[in-house]
A and B are shown apart, each in its own frame.
Chain A
Amino acid sequence: MAFRGPFGLWSAPRMSTRITLNDEALLADPTGALFWPTERLLIVADLHLEKGSSFTHRGQFLPPYDTRETLDRLARVIQRYRPVRIVCLGDSFHDADAGSRFDRGDLERLRRMVGAHDWTWITGNHDPAPPAGIGGAVAPELRLSRLVLRHQPAAEYQAGEICGHFHPKAAIVARGQRISGACFVTDGRRMVMPAFGAFAGGLDALDPAIGALFGRGGYRVLMLGRERLYLFPRDRLVGFGAPRRASA
């Protein structure tokens, strides 16, 4: 399937899934990124860069490679869609101090990535002020056509809203085996994106905090498989068996 956008004929990578959100055609990628062909805009949520190193103050030394891994993934998805604009949907940096903990090489790479695109950091609860010196614009939200991009959802139902924050994760049982994965959650008008960061945790898509965002019509999830996305309605999901704290 091909789309005709303002930049001419554009081919979708094979494994992405075309979805319609508030009448805008989007491509959901199995990495958890979202591409808007008509705007040539790539959206990723909750990178949580330098989350691994944030545990050092507690004497815990998690592998310091999560930033590198997240940037690798981002580079691959940029390569795949060749966006002009990139929007990071908040909580891009795990904490206010994250900037000082960057490995020099990782930092340079991120700067180059930002410099090569029309880049917007949407602010999140973890990063109300992204570290200085990385580049890119900073905004609390972005309105484009029929969509509005922000980190946390508005209190009132808002059609066209895409948010992050929750790191939704879903599980199904197939052939007695339980399979879980990060997921997009949507009712076709509003959407919660999965976390893109390598060390980002997850909140059960069945959690009331997520359920409350959608009306009585219910919602579906697009679960990230290894190579493509899988669609399941809410009633096909099974719970995680224990309460989850949002790592948001």
Chain B
Amino acid sequence: MNVSASTIPAELLPAPFAAWFAQRGWTPHPHQIAMLAAARAGRSALLVAPTGGGKTLAGFLPSLVELAETPGTGLHTLYVSPLKALAIDIHRNLECPIREMGLNIRAETRTGDTPAAKRARQRRSPPQLLMTTPESVALMLADAKADVLFASLRCIIVDELHALIGTKRGDLLALDLARLARLAPGARRVGLSATVADPEALAGWLGAGLAAPVERIVGVGGPAPEISILVPETRLPWSGHMGLHAIPDIYAAIRNAGTTLVFVNTRAQAELVFQALWRINDDNLPIALHHGSLGPEQRRKVEAAMAAGRLRAVVATSSLDLGIDWGTVDLVIQVGAPKGVTRLLQRIGRSNHRLDRPSRAILVPSNRFEVLECRAAIEAIRDGELDGTPPRPGALDVLAQHILGMACAGPFRADDLYDEVRQAAPYAALSRKDFDDVLAFVANGGYALSTYDRFRRLFRAADGRWHVIGPRVARQYRLNVGTIVEAPMLTVTLRRGRRLGEIEEYFVQGLEPGDTFVFAGQVLHFERVQGTTVEVTRASSDDPKVPAYAGGRLPLTTQLAHRVRNLLHARTAWRDLPDEVRQWLRLQAWRSQVPAPDGLLVETFPRGGKHFLVAYCFEGRNAHQTLGMLLTRRMERAGLKPLGFVATDYVIAVWSLRPARDIDALFDQDMLGDDLEAWMAESSMLRRTFRNVAVIAGLIERRHPGQEKTGRQVLFSSDLIYDVLRTHEPDHVLLRATRADAATGLTDVRRLSDMLARVKGRITHRRLDRVSPLAVPVLLEIGKESVQGTAIDALLDEAAQELIAEATAMPDDNAGQMDLFEADEK
């Protein structure tokens, strides 16, 4: 439904622009015109549109028109993208209209990779259009001359806004927008976003602190996507997440399509699916692999080949969720459960950027539960019911980083800065106490103990303003800026050969020499660790020890989980399910019962001399992991002798030596009190969370390439700090920030607490004499997943006992020198 360029009033689209559109055989989209109109009226705007609708051009068009009419020097438009590569790509795409219309406009990029000399030149003589990232904006704002640089700013464009909101990077950018509003009060804001559940929230975020509301503009959407579920000829697996059973069907689909994006959920899965596809790739189709652990040069190569249309398929993780448009993709395959509706829709949107034809997608569930999830996701897309995370308050560690940056820009009054940061949406409700505590932390640690009164980073001068103590503080800030804390990584290198990519150190730590694993599309033999390098050789084995990357596995969203529960309950909907799944559910209804949409079904049964408890919570793996930790703690206290637990996105199973009888008491909300506190003291996930908080807040230094200090050391020392701080100042602002993070993310405590409240008094306990059909999948996970819930000492004990048994069989050359036993108290 395009308008002809000639019918558009010239005050919106001046003649040279109309001519340029005509020359390319394009007509402006209505949303592009609407964006021009909004800009003319000086209004900020949020454009929500699917990919391929000329969204980025719509964002820039008003700036180009303005600059063509009234050329000015100085920075006019700041474009912020979450991806460095995207900023660079957008820059390239903009050069085309600028050149073809002969506009006298300078557009440049500025990212962490921009050489210092160029950055200095950009400060002296800024381009009119600057493409950059949230981190670079923060750095520019921390400069003493920031007020000069941004005084001329007329427009701020935030791309992929949906990907920033609710994240710490989004918090950082929101704070920067608040500062920009002070430096350039007249600047418009433009948000560009993919389709989301709650555009109102996005508009609110974008327009926070502005006098006029943000105009919402909805881009034209294409026809509804065509999504099908692939149920292979072979038996549908009971458990597992890899989807390897369907490889022949996936291969056939790739063969029948032009270019296919095969999305998977984890890097390990990407490796395995890629391998399996090549094993049967008799036609030698160019199929590539793309995930975050591969070397950047390798990823760039794949992206370039894709852009050039040289590939038939790419197996990718979320590393390709965002990014450069490839017009050529005509099929998206999602292997494994989608986990969320919005994300699935965004992935599907990566195919077919022509708006006149529907996107095509195939979902490949990797087990029976995932069939339900795929079905629920398709229905949600049909109903236009997307999911999103509810807004959360801005993180205090990010605020600490921002306050230090603002102090580097120049002295400030606490009252003024407090007012300013509350103009950022995530910090609108920030209490003065929190602000003061964070400020005290930035100044000298903010500890109750007054040891550090003599030492400070910031000091308050006689005029009441806060100053940095010296230039060293600004250096420190520049090295630490940003909210992304990388896990310690090691480089994987073939012995005497090339670099294959990077891998999380904790994964390598679980390997023993001789183990095999899949990485960079090949089966590798772990040889040894040398410095920060993992030395590997190519393995002949086809049966690798699978990398069990814990990261990258997103939990099932609340909304999708709700739909799955409803689907389970609505028997009439079972008709549309594959036979195997339908029979499975019928059998469950007969042997036990199907979980109700509200309430909680808990089954207990004996098996192999142990007692199992299976709870159908549907709250996602992160919340289930936390629940597992807390349940096993209480069961331990109740003398039930729990042995371990395993959690999936749908279900948690706990096993113990004695049966659990009082299920209501076991699931009581009070487990979120002392049990949670005690668990937090030990949890490695909380330690990781604290480490990230400590790095972002600037308590401990970030690792930088070439530094002698390794990531592992940062991890180690942050653990010591966590222990000491928890004992001696449990209410310190960084521990508060850590607890706030624990409410979502890896531990998902809030979701768990919502569930416990919801099911109170509505728990159905079924005592069975054996395993129920619905419990089979989670029981099959035991042994595949590392079993949790065992105390560290118990594991050490086990290892030591095993050793003693081993040792007694062997001659001991130090016999008599040392003996190990517990001295009894007698």
- Listed in ascending order, the chain A residues whose CB lies under 8 Å from chain B are 1-2, 11-20, 27, 52-53, 56-57, 59-66, 68-69, 101, 103, 171-179, 186-189, 198-199, 201-202, 217, 220, 223, 225-233, 236, 238-245
Whether B473 and A59, one on each chain, are in contact in the complex, defined by CB atoms closer than 8 angstroms, is yes
Q: Is B710 an interface residue (CB 8 A)?
A: yes
Q: Is B809 an interface residue (CB 8 A)?
A: no
Q: Which residues of chain A are within 8 angstroms of B787 by Cβ–Cβ distance?
A: 175
Whether B529 and A242, one on each chain, are in contact in the complex, defined by CB atoms closer than 8 angstroms, is yes
Contact of A179 among B532, B713, B795, B826 (CB under 8 A): B795
Closest 6 CB pairs of A and B: A188-B817, A61-B445, A65-B728, A1-B823, A56-B455, A12-B823
Whether A232 and B800, one on each chain, are in contact in the complex, defined by CB atoms closer than 8 angstroms, is yes
Q: How far is the CB of A71 from chain B (nearest CB, A)?
A: 11
Whether A175 and B786, one on each chain, are in contact in the complex, defined by CB atoms closer than 8 angstroms, is yes
Q: How far is the CB of B719 from chain A (nearest CB, A)?
A: 10
**Contact bitstring B421-449, A, C-beta under 8 A = 1, else 0:** 00000000000000000000100111101
Whether B724 and A198, one on each chain, are in contact in the complex, defined by CB atoms closer than 8 angstroms, is yes
Known: A59-B457, A220-B818, A230-B800. A2 touches B509 (CB 8 A): no
Q: Which residues of chain B are within 8 angstroms of A103 by Cβ–Cβ distance?
A: 449-451
Q: Which residues of chain A are within 8 angstroms of B444 by Cβ–Cβ distance?
A: 61
Chain B, residue nearest A171 (CB)? B509
Whether A236 and B803, one on each chain, are in contact in the complex, defined by CB atoms closer than 8 angstroms, is yes
**Contact bitstring B281-325, A, C-beta under 8 A = 1, else 0:** 000000000000000000000000000000000000000000000
Whether A245 and B708, one on each chain, are in contact in the complex, defined by CB atoms closer than 8 angstroms, is yes
Whether A61 and B820, one on each chain, are in contact in the complex, defined by CB atoms closer than 8 angstroms, is no
Q: Give Cα A53 to B453, complex, Å.
A: 11
**Contact bitstring B713-736, A, C-beta under 8 A = 1, else 0:** 100110011011101110010000
Q: Give Cα A244 to B709, complex, Å.
A: 8
Q: Give Cα A103 to B453, complex, Å.
A: 11
Whether B792 and A18, one on each chain, are in contact in the complex, defined by CB atoms closer than 8 angstroms, is no
Q: How far is the CB of A201 from chain B (nearest CB, A)?
A: 6
Q: How far is the CB of A68 from chain B (nearest CB, A)?
A: 6
Which of B510, B727, B814 has the largest number of chain A CB atoms within 10 A?
Answer: B814
Chain B, residue nearest A64 (CB)? B451
Whether A61 and B728, one on each chain, are in contact in the complex, defined by CB atoms closer than 8 angstroms, is no
Q: Give Cα A103 to B448, complex, Å.
A: 12
Whether A61 and B793, one on each chain, are in contact in the complex, defined by CB atoms closer than 8 angstroms, is no
Q: Which residues of chain A are within 8 angstroms of B816 by Cβ–Cβ distance?
A: 20
Whether A64 and B795, one on each chain, are in contact in the complex, defined by CB atoms closer than 8 angstroms, is no
Known: A68-B728, A175-B798. A62 touches B786 (CB 8 A): no
Whether B798 and A63, one on each chain, are in contact in the complex, defined by CB atoms closer than 8 angstroms, is no
Contact of B823 among A18, A53, A201, A227 (CB under 8 A): A18
Q: Is B69 an interface residue (CB 8 A)?
A: no
Whether B717 and A201, one on each chain, are in contact in the complex, defined by CB atoms closer than 8 angstroms, is yes
Q: How far is the CB of A7 from chain B (nearest CB, A)?
A: 17
Which of B451, B508, B708, B709 has the largest number of chain A CB atoms within 10 A?
Answer: B451
Q: Is B700 an interface residue (CB 8 A)?
A: yes
Which of A65, A188, A240 has the largest number of chain B CB atoms within 10 A?
Answer: A65
Whether B803 and A1, one on each chain, are in contact in the complex, defined by CB atoms closer than 8 angstroms, is no
Q: Is B822 an interface residue (CB 8 A)?
A: yes
Q: Give Cα A46 to B152, complex, Å.
A: 58
Listed by A's residue number, 15 A-B pairs whose Cβ atoms lie within 8 Å are A2-B823, A12-B823, A12-B825, A14-B825, A18-B819, A57-B455, A63-B729, A171-B509, A175-B787, A178-B510, A179-B796, A230-B799, A240-B509, A242-B531, A243-B532
Whether B700 and A69, one on each chain, are in contact in the complex, defined by CB atoms closer than 8 angstroms, is no
Known: A61-B699, A69-B728. A217 touches B813 (CB 8 A): yes
Contact of A18 among B713, B807, B821 (CB under 8 A): B821
Known: A103-B451, A178-B506, A198-B720. A230 touches B457 (CB 8 A): no
Known: A175-B787, A225-B796, A241-B529. A63 touches B825 (CB 8 A): no
Whether B512 and A173, one on each chain, are in contact in the complex, defined by CB atoms closer than 8 angstroms, is yes
Chain B, residue nearest A11 (CB)? B825
Q: Is B490 an interface residue (CB 8 A)?
A: yes
Which of B450, B817, B819 has the largest number of chain A CB atoms within 10 A?
Answer: B817
Q: Which residues of chain A are within 8 angstroms of B700 by Cβ–Cβ distance?
A: 60, 62
Q: How far is the CB of B189 from chain A (nearest CB, A)?
A: 35
Known: A174-B795, A187-B814, A242-B712. A17 touches B820 (CB 8 A): yes
Q: Is B93 an interface residue (CB 8 A)?
A: no
Q: Which residues of chain B are within 8 angstroms of A176 by Cβ–Cβ distance?
A: 510, 786
Q: Which residues of chain A are within 8 angstroms of B793 by Cβ–Cβ distance?
A: 225-228
Which of B445, B505, B824 has the largest number of chain A CB atoms within 10 A?
Answer: B445
* Interface residue tally on B, bucketed by range: 35 or more
Whether A59 and B476, one on each chain, are in contact in the complex, defined by CB atoms closer than 8 angstroms, is yes
Q: Which residues of chain A are within 8 angstroms of B469 by Cβ–Cβ distance?
A: 59
Whether B473 and A174, one on each chain, are in contact in the complex, defined by CB atoms closer than 8 angstroms, is no
Q: Which residues of chain A are within 8 angstroms of B529 by Cβ–Cβ distance?
A: 239, 241-242
Q: Give Cα A176 to B509, complex, Å.
A: 9
Q: Which residues of chain B are within 8 angstroms of A245 by Cβ–Cβ distance?
A: 708-709, 713
Q: Is B584 an interface residue (CB 8 A)?
A: no
Q: Which residues of chain B are within 8 angstroms of A230 by Cβ–Cβ distance?
A: 796-797, 799-800
Known: A179-B796, A220-B818, A241-B712. A65 touches B724 (CB 8 A): yes
Q: Is B701 an interface residue (CB 8 A)?
A: yes
Contact of B505 among A20, A179, A228, A242 (CB under 8 A): A242
Whether A232 and B803, one on each chain, are in contact in the complex, defined by CB atoms closer than 8 angstroms, is yes
Q: Which residues of chain B are within 8 angstroms of A231 by Cβ–Cβ distance?
A: 800, 803, 818, 820
Q: Give Cα A178 to B795, complex, Å.
A: 10
Whether B823 and A63, one on each chain, are in contact in the complex, defined by CB atoms closer than 8 angstroms, is no
Q: How far is the CB of A242 from chain B (nearest CB, A)?
A: 4
Q: How far is the CB of A231 from chain B (nearest CB, A)?
A: 5
Q: Which residues of chain A are within 8 angstroms of B473 by Cβ–Cβ distance?
A: 59
Contact of A69 among B512, B727, B792 (CB under 8 A): B727
Known: A65-B725, A199-B717. A177 touches B510 (CB 8 A): yes
Contact of A178 among B447, B509, B803 (CB under 8 A): B509
Q: How far is the CB of B281 from chain A (nearest CB, A)?
A: 32
Q: Give Cα A240 to B509, complex, Å.
A: 7
Q: Give Cα A133 to B120, complex, Å.
A: 54
Q: Is B790 an interface residue (CB 8 A)?
A: yes
Q: Give Cα A2 to B532, complex, Å.
A: 48
Task: Find residues 695-714 in chain B having any chain A CB closer than 8 Å to their own CB.
Answer: 699-701, 708-713
Contact of B509 among A20, A59, A241 (CB under 8 A): A241
Q: Which residues of chain A are within 8 angstroms of B729 by Cβ–Cβ distance?
A: 63, 65
Contact of B786 among A16, A20, A177 (CB under 8 A): A177
Chain B, residue nearest A229 (CB)? B820
Q: Which residues of chain B are within 8 angstroms of A189 by Cβ–Cβ distance?
A: 817
Q: Give Cα A227 to B792, complex, Å.
A: 10
Chain B, residue nearest A17 (CB)? B820
Q: Which residues of chain A are within 8 angstroms of B450 by Cβ–Cβ distance?
A: 103
Contact of B510 among A173, A202, A233 (CB under 8 A): A173
Q: Which residues of chain B are within 8 angstroms of A18 by Cβ–Cβ distance?
A: 819, 821, 823
Q: How far is the CB of B360 from chain A (nearest CB, A)?
A: 40
Q: Which residues of chain A are within 8 angstroms of B472 by Cβ–Cβ distance?
A: 59
Q: Give Cα A239 to B508, complex, Å.
A: 10
Q: Give Cα A243 to B721, complex, Å.
A: 21
Q: Which residues of chain A are within 8 angstroms of B817 by Cβ–Cβ distance?
A: 20, 187-189
Whether B798 and A64, one on each chain, are in contact in the complex, defined by CB atoms closer than 8 angstroms, is no
Q: A171-B509, A243-B710, A244-B710 are in contact. List 17 more A-B contacts (CB 8 A).
A: A53-B452, A56-B452, A60-B699, A61-B455, A63-B721, A174-B796, A177-B786, A177-B795, A186-B818, A189-B817, A198-B724, A201-B713, A225-B797, A228-B793, A236-B799, A242-B711, A243-B531
Q: Which residues of chain A are within 8 angstroms of B446 by Cβ–Cβ distance?
A: 61
Chain B, residue nearest A70 (CB)? B724
Whether B451 and A101, one on each chain, are in contact in the complex, defined by CB atoms closer than 8 angstroms, is yes
Whether B723 and A198, one on each chain, are in contact in the complex, defined by CB atoms closer than 8 angstroms, is yes
Whether A15 and B803, one on each chain, are in contact in the complex, defined by CB atoms closer than 8 angstroms, is no
Q: Which residues of chain B are within 8 angstroms of A225 by Cβ–Cβ distance?
A: 792-793, 796-797
Q: Give Cα A66 to B716, complex, Å.
A: 15
Whether A14 and B823, one on each chain, are in contact in the complex, defined by CB atoms closer than 8 angstroms, is yes
Q: Which residues of chain B are within 8 angstroms of A19 by Cβ–Cβ distance?
A: 818-819
Q: Which residues of chain B are within 8 angstroms of A220 by Cβ–Cβ distance?
A: 814, 818
